[in-house]
Chain A
Amino acid sequence: MPKVTFHHDGGNADVLDVEPGTSLMRAAVRNGVRGIVGECGGQAMCATCHVYVRDRYLDALPDISEDEEEMLDCTTAPRDADRSRLGCQVVVGADLDAIEVDVPASQV
């Protein structure tokens, strides 16, 4: 199963084995990962599942849609030009069997 690692400030991390087809947001919320809220339920409407993807995984990600692009300008923690994504728009599976992300300090 794909492996997702959520890194927190201070060096702690949550490492999850996730069913293919699952978004980072859903995986985080289901498993109680701190700092991922997902208030809108995965509709790219609230920007509360913001993550910073670690560099080595960036090339494997799907393109940023127009909606995600606009919402990324609205995150509470500052946007990183390369690494910021919405967790609800990144889905693990055949093309992405492992990913590591950093969880921002604040989502709301």
Chain B
Amino acid sequence: MESVVIIGAGHAGVQVAESLRTGGFEGAVTLVGDEDALPYQRPPLSKDYLAPGRTAEPLPLRGEKFYAENRIELRTGVTATVLDRARRTVFLDDGESLTYTTLVLATGATNRTLPVPGSDLAGVHDLRTLADAERLRADMEKARSVAVVGAGFIGLEFAAAARAHGLAVTVLEATDRPMGRALTPPMSAHFTDAHGEMGSDLRLGEGLAEIHGQDGRVTGVSSGPGAEYPADIVLIGVGVRPRDELAVAAGLAVANGIVVDGHLRTSDPDVYAIGDCASFPATEAGARLRLESVQNATDQARHVARQILGSPATYAEVPWFWSNQGPLRLQIAGLAQPGDSTVISGDRSGGRFSVLAFRNGALVAVESLNKPADHIAARRVLSAAATPTPDQAADPSFTLKDFAKQLVAAP
């Protein structure tokens, strides 16, 4: 009998299992997760979960009965330790082993750490898992000030949540702008101002040098330039590295993630890798991408399920992302790069606008702030073969929604 084993029970792993069943897969499906909790949604952990007055209850990805109803064997709280490809077997840390006809690695990523003095003090946090969020939430109840290290998505979502709790917030960012890896300069600039208005002290160009403490507990941080800031909580949000240990030890190709081809297959044709842990070929220019998002996880999962069910195709979905930071609701479609030209569409001073990024005259990405209709339209436009010109987009009467509508209307 066919047997699919999925390592990793996050958004990607759970979606593979579900899509196999909805696609009519009759073989065995086993889903292995190393956390104890019923598989849950991660994005709310840095948003609603930490917001004042919200329920401290995680949102499961699927209800408990979903797994039994769909004949998905869910094994939580166990870690895959060894992949023996010759015997098509995965060994688990509870002493058991699983054999597969197809293996899907959806192992995710793990937070990067900073080797600075004081990083082992109580009150120093990072945020990825439910257990991390529970610890952070508990500490926030008695804290008065926080220092956030890294002005990326997680750091700034947490900063906004901490301000909503009335805590004093300092954000240290080593580069010259927030979310610089993901956002165009104009959108970064808007977030710099907006976090200032929320009351956070955003220190650009200041990396973390040292975490100070007393009696084993954090009291503050100092930055590279030597400034000191008080903090009862330090949140480190400086990016992730893919969890590729299992693949490396099994001799699979790895380069900033588990290397897969356009079909999301690893260097072993019986093994796929998807989601945060996978480095896949972008359709253009031979570049490789490794994306950390719900969309990437679930779309790649659906894609792999279709392949296992016998419909091979090249993966080519438009990436999209979102982030909520206090009153700021940011949605991104496509991937901008340094050097792209930008056009702003909408009401910038009123905080409802989109930044359209163009490369060689073609639309490549849209960042929408408090403009969800632009975002949905952008996803449609970017997955179609048509593009507005920068001049068209700069016309005050231009909207992405109208442009997308006209695409649908065209024969």
Contact = CB atoms under 8 A, between A and B. Distances in A.
Interface of A: 21, 26, 29-33, 38-45, 47, 67, 70-71, 73-74
14 contacts: A29-B61, A30-B63, A31-B65, A32-B69, A33-B63, A39-B298, A40-B43, A41-B41, A43-B43, A43-B48, A70-B371, A70-B372, A70-B373, A74-B372
Given A47-B376, A70-B371, A74-B372, A41 B66 contact: no
Contacts of B93: none
B372 A31 contact: no
B370 A67 contact: yes
Given A21-B55, A32-B62, A40-B322, 14 more contacts: A29-B61, A29-B62, A31-B63, A31-B65, A32-B69, A38-B41, A41-B43, A41-B47, A41-B59, A42-B44, A42-B59, A47-B376, A71-B372, A73-B376
A33 B324 CA distance: 26
A9 to B, nearest CB: 15
Contact of B59 (A31, A38, A44, A67): A38
B60 interface: yes
Main secondary structure of the interface of A (DSSP, over half): loop
B294 interface: yes
A43 B373 contact: no
Interface string B58-84: 011111111001000000000000000
A43 B324 contact: yes
5 tightest CB-CB pairs across the interface, nearest first?
A32-B63, A74-B376, A70-B373, A41-B44, A32-B66
Given A29-B59, A29-B60, A39 B371 contact: no
Contacts of A42: 44, 48, 59
